[in-house]
Amino acid sequence: MKYVAEIPVRLGSKRVPKKNLRLINGKPMVGYAIEACKGSKYISETYINSEADIMKKLCDDYGVQFYKRKDELAEDHIVQDQFNYDFLLNVETENLVMVNPVSPLVLPEDIDNAIKYYEENQLDCLISVREEKLQSFFDGKPLNFSDQALLPMTQTLKPVQLCAWTVCIWNAKKFIEHYEKHGYAVFVGNYGLYPFDPVRSIKVSTEEDFKLAELYLSAKSANAEVTPEYYE
Domains, the chain, ordered by start: 3-230 (3.90.550.10)
pLDDT at residue 206, as a whole number: 84
One-letter identity of residue 151 = L
pLDDT at residue 13, as a whole number: 57
pLDDT at residue 186, as a whole number: 97
The answer to whether 204 and 211 are in contact (CB under 8 A) is no
Q: What is the pLDDT of residues 169-191, one digit of tens each?
A: 999 999 999 999 999 999 999 99
CB burial of residue 20 (10 Å; 0-12, 13-18, 19+): buried
Closest CA to 189 of 128, 121, 131: 121
The phi, psi pair for 192, rounded to 5°, reads: -125, 145
30/100 Cα distance (integer angstroms) = 8
Closest CA to 85 of 174, 161, 196: 174
Higher pLDDT residue, 20 or 86?
86
One-letter identity of residue 187 = F
pLDDT-derived band at 20 (thresholds 50, 70, 90) equals confident
One-letter identity of residue 142 = P
pLDDT-derived band at 228 (thresholds 50, 70, 90) equals very low
Q: How many CB atoms lie within 10 A of CB 18?
A: 16
Q: Is the pLDDT of residue 14 over 80?
A: no
Q: Is the pLDDT of residue 227 over 60?
A: no
pTM over 0.75: yes
124/174 Cα distance (integer angstroms) = 7
